[in-house]
């Protein structure tokens, strides 16, 4: 290329960014799993299906933090159905 410029491989950059994103998502999931085990949240939520954060706090005995948002044990919760 002219003027000392280097060609940019956009596909390679995209693949790298996706790999970084996946690695970060995995690291965050590992951290959340650790907290879930250490606080017995998973045990408290076992078999109860989708739940709201206030319901999880109530059954676990932990204090809710900040604004109540929908959470669930798998998939996405339908916040219109309550919890």
| Helix, strand, coil percentages in the chain from 3-state DSSP, rounded to 5 | 60, 5, 35
What's the pLDDT at 63? Answer: 79
Helix (H) or strand (E) run with residue 51 in it: strand 51-52
Planar angle of CA 49, 54, 52, nearest 5 degrees: 35
Q: What is the pLDDT of residues 62-72, one digit of tens each?
A: 877 765 445 55
CA distance 40 to 35: 8
pLDDT of residue 77: 43
Give residue 78's pLDDT: 45
pLDDT tier for residue 2 given thresholds of 50, 70 and 90: low
pLDDT digit string, tens, across residues 7-53: 889 999 999 999 999 999 999 999 889 988 888 888 888 999 888 88
């Amino acid at each position: 290329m002219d003027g000392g410029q280097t060609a940019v491989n956009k596909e390679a950059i995209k693949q790298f960014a996706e790999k970084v994103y996946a690695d970060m998502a995995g690291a965050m999931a590992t951290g959340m799993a650790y907290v879930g085990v250490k606080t017995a949240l998973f045990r408290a939520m076992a078999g109860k299906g989708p739940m709201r954060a206030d319901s999880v706090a109530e059954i676990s005995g932990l204090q809710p933090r900040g604004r109540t948002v929908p959470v669930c044990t798998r998939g996405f919760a339908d916040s219109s159905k309550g919890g």
